[in-house]
Amino acid sequence: MQTLILPVDQPGAIESALALFKAGEIVAFPTDTVYGLGANAFHAPGIIKLFEAKGRDSNNAIAILIGSLDQTSLLTDCMTDIALRLTEAFWPGGLTVIVPKKNTLPELISTTDRIGIRIPNHPVTLELLRTFGPLATTSANLAGKSNPQNAYDVYEQLNGRVPLILNDGDCPGGIPSTVVDCSGTEPIILREGAISNKAIQRVMEGKKP
């Protein structure tokens, strides 16, 4: 497979990415945290390509990026009170919330009854998500390797494994999202990242982050 790198502001670049998603392919693109590798969240063959490109264990769940709160209804029947409080404070941004999974999603997304959801704070990503819809997304690197900060980091690891990388320079954040399980009665931080534990705790106490 030939891997093409296109600047996001090049005419036709975004349209090329959208066409690949529609065709069941994977695309690497910038986010507010690290570069991501995405596929149609409702298309199992595309999700399989995510696992294959990364060399990732298929038992590891893949989070879904969305472009608006309205899109949560496509993924879950229950945005819990905890999830709503945290997303109001930190979305769009570097917070992934774990909530009950809708049974219409491909099982490959998550082998459990829960799913991770995030709205990123990046104009290119939001354009893709608002135009196409939810994307199953993971960091655009080989499993166990360093997180990619720019398109050339992605190319170094995934050349020949992905058809297109959208290039928008370095990611502004450079740190993966914080993952919080919001499916129970108390938030459980599964991975600290762009949002600090302290900030999450402040919001749960009714304070500003």
- In tens, the pLDDT along 89-131 reads 999 999 999 999 999 999 999 999 999 999 999 999 999 999 9
Under a CB-based contact definition with an 8 Å cutoff, are residues 114 and 101 in contact?
A: yes
Does 3.40.640.10 match the CATH number of domain 4-204?
no
Residues of the chain with pLDDT under 50: none
Which pTM does this prediction carry?
A: 0.96
